Amino acid sequence: MTHSLRTLSPPPLSPRRRGLLVFLGVAYLGMWVAMTPLLATGFQRESARSGMGTLEQVCVSAAMFAPALAALLVVKYVEPAGRIRDVLALRPSRPWAHVARSCLLALVVPALLTVAALVIGATTGHYPFHVPWSGLGAWVIALLLKMLVSLPLFFGEELGWQGYLFPRLAGRGKGARLTWAYVGTGAAFALWHLPTLLMGGQYPGRHWYVSVFAIVVSCVLILPVFTWLRLRSGSVVPAVVGHAFVSTASVSMVKEFAAPNAPVDPLHMGMTGWPGWIATGAFVAFLALTGRLRPSAYA
């Protein structure tokens, strides 16, 4: 039996599927390209207490814009569907007062989850808890200023993950499809960090496969919190604020409230370690059981 070339040709990709592939390709390629200078020089982060030099800051900042660039390219050229600010939830579908309240929750909830993680770590003997009362006020002010300055970078990420990817995977689905949207977006968000994991970025001193497992668990658990903030406000802005807090303030809290000179191990401390998985997992379970993770609840 013979077949025509037309019969053997694969069916064309739908714009939505093509858009997803282009988004992931550009976002991941952008991350690897941005990290190339560090990978080429053999950079390795030795300690969780160590900061970033100028080159590391430049590379990380450039990488954080890759998901937003990918989302903008897809929405503009692959699957155009209206104004970019509407499609990517830059303009909220709810009143700005509601967005402002969600932004406040984006600060309070991650702060409470971080405190819960530190308490769990301290009570199990894995976190050397210590409150440095002297200079605490100045530290809080400096931390808030750092978060404010870094917000544009987190727009670079959340326009991709919450503005584009999660809505495309979730659609109007529920049940298994909605669960897949949460897990799939969280896993994509986690594996996007692979170049930094190879350099000890999030879990210095750990084997890469341990770091990959830990970051996947962390991202799959924290992503529903960001999505909840995005759904209840109709805007990516609260998700950006929440992401900024988790990646800056929460990490800083782990180091600030640890005893001086005590080793800091992200795998056993804070939101990126198992104490944080317990705290965040409990909160996500509450959101799921109360229906707050269903997009239809906010229609």
Secondary structure, 3-state, 212-267: HHHHHHHHHHHHHHHHHHHHHHCCCHHHHHHHHHHHHHHHHHHHHCECCCCCCCCC
Integer Cα distance of 266 and 203 in angstroms? 6
Which three-class secondary structure state does DSSP give residue 178? helix
pLDDT, residue 66, reads 97
Under the banding of pLDDT at 50, 70 and 90, the label for residue 12 is low
**DSSP 8-state class, residue 3:** -
Burial of 58 (0-12, 13-18, 19+ CB in 10 A): middle
Kindly report the pTM of this predicted structure: 0.91
CB 280 within 8 A of CB 271: yes
Instruction: For residue 29, count other CB atoms closer than 10 A to its CB.
Output: 12
What's the distance, CA 200 to chain centroid? 18
Helix (H) or strand (E) holding 265: none
Under the banding of pLDDT at 50, 70 and 90, the label for residue 2 is very low
Residue 11 pLDDT exceeds 80: no
Lowest mean pLDDT among 7-21, 36-50, 232-246, 270-284: 7-21
pLDDT digit string, tens, across residues 86-134: 778 888 777 888 899 999 999 999 999 999 999 999 999 999 988 888 8
pLDDT digit string, tens, across residues 134-189: 888 899 999 999 999 999 999 999 999 999 999 999 987 788 899 999 999 999 99
Instruction: For residue 55, count other CB atoms closer than 10 A to its CB.
Output: 12
For 98-109, letters b (16+ CB in 10 Å) and e give bbeebbebbbeb
- Mean pLDDT score across all residues of the chain: 90
Higher pLDDT, 79 or 14: 79
Residue 3 pLDDT exceeds 50: no
Which three-class secondary structure state does DSSP give residue 202? coil
Q: 120: Cβ–Cβ under 8 A, 6 or more apart, which residues?
A: 275, 278, 279
Amino acid letter for position 39: L
Which three-class secondary structure state does DSSP give residue 258? strand
pLDDT digit string, tens, across residues 37-95: 999 999 999 888 888 889 999 999 999 999 999 999 999 888 877 678 777 888 877 78
Integer Cα distance of 67 and 75 in angstroms? 12
CA distances from 266 to 221, 244, 270 (A): 16, 18, 6
CB 226 within 8 A of CB 181: no
Lowest mean pLDDT among 71-85, 120-134, 246-260, 268-282: 71-85
Residue 7 pLDDT exceeds 70: no
Locate the DSSP E strands across 75-139: none
Cβ-defined contacts of 205-214 (< 8 Å, 24+): 205/46, 205/47, 206/267, 210/267, 214/266, 214/267, 214/272, 214/273
First to last CA, the chain: 53
pLDDT, residue 13, reads 64
Residue bearing tokens 């950079």? 43
pLDDT, residue 1, reads 42
Residue 5 pLDDT exceeds 50: no
Residue 14 pLDDT exceeds 80: no
pLDDT, residue 9, reads 40
CB 240 within 8 A of CB 248: no
